[in-house]
Amino acid sequence: MQSQDRRTFINSLALISGSLMLPNGFVFATAKKSTYKIAVIDLMILKRQKLSALPLAKEIGADGLEIDMGGLGNRDTFDNKLADPETRKQYMDTAKELGIEFCSLAMTGFYAQSFATRPTYQKMVQDCLDTMTAMNIKVAFLPLGVQGDLVKNPELKKPIVERLKVVGKMAKRAGVVIGIETSLDAKGEADLLKEINCKSIKSYFNFSNAIKNGRDLNEELRILGRKNIIQIHATNEDGIWLENDPKIDLVKVKQTLDEMGWSGWLVVERSRDAKQPTNVKYNFSANTAYLKQIFQAT
């Protein structure tokens, strides 16, 4: 019995000694490690609701794809080709074959149309939620856009909050999260989310919003906090690639997100080279590769 106790003690001591020699952050197997996946957007790779977006995303090197709900304009709801079961099946079969995940479903029609005033907003959102359920997509993207700019139009805050509470309940019933993009700074957006008071409404953070308004990107992420951010558009405005952009230190951003304990999808939206803005493979392959180099390094 004494020999067994001695052997157990020696083995335990060896494990403790060995762990002290491991790099920081790798001492205990129970420590949570942040994981990141990289996606592109069908709209931005010029394949809005086209099946060919999937092989192109694969060729670009992305792990996933953000799909758009289709045009909106003055319609009662989105021009959504994915409402057709056969089209959905083709998408899902092709994605499975290629190993591409659907990270989110985007209601980009609200970039130009008013979420605050459109009378059929519930139908629009419900159509999105129905498609998400059918395709097992867990995140929706809802930009408040030009007409929902809460910095320029603060009077819209009340109707927008009321409507987001409504769609938040809809999202909760569907078991999904709606990520909103606003023009507010991190504190303003955190306050907005607190007022909405719904775990199914979170921030879909955009690097470029912070940068173009002269805010500290890393500080904005910290202020908003891990629990408030569902997904990230991880690029700047167009002009130069991420790897050449002096306004974004992605190594520092990764350190910030790691320290926050945030994990999830980083979605490539812009940061296109001004010399070749329409060269999809050239731009999106470069930015995807750079994000993977920083965030998926082993």
Tokens representing residue 232 in the block: 């990230």
Q: What is the DSSP string of 161-201?
A: HHHHHHHHHHHHHHT-EEEEE-SS-HHHHHHHHHHHT-TTE
Element containing residue 101 per DSSP (H, E): strand 101-106
CA distances from 54 to 45, 46, 95 (A): 10, 12, 7
Taking residue 153's Cβ as centre, other Cβ atoms within 10 Å add up to: 16
The confidence score (pLDDT) of residue 41 equals 98
Which numeric CATH code is attached to 36-295?
3.20.20.150
Tokens of 129: 């939620």
3-state DSSP call for residue 57? helix
Within 10 A of 119 (CB to CB), how many other CB atoms are there?
Answer: 7
- Residue 291's pLDDT is 98
Q: How far apart are CA 198 and CA 192, in angstroms?
A: 11
The total number of residues written for the chain in this structure:
298
What is the pTM for the complete model shown?
A: 0.88
Q: Rounded to a whole number, what is the distance in angstroms from the first to the last CA of the chain?
A: 44
Residue 24: predicted pLDDT: 39
Distance CA 269, CA 271 (A): 7
Encode the chain (298 residues) as per-residue pLDDT tens digits.
444 444 444 344 443 344 334 333 333 333 456 799 999 999 999 999 999 999 999 999 999 999 999 999 999 999 999 999 999 999 999 999 999 999 999 999 999 999 999 999 999 999 999 999 999 999 999 999 999 999 999 999 999 999 999 999 999 999 999 999 999 999 999 999 999 999 999 999 999 999 999 999 999 999 999 999 999 999 999 999 999 999 999 999 999 999 999 999 999 999 999 999 999 999 999 999 999 999 998 7
pLDDT confidence of residue 197: 98
Based on the number of CB atoms within 10 Å of its own CB, is 65 exposed (0-12), middle (13-18) or buried (19 or more)? buried
The pLDDT of residue 33 is: 67
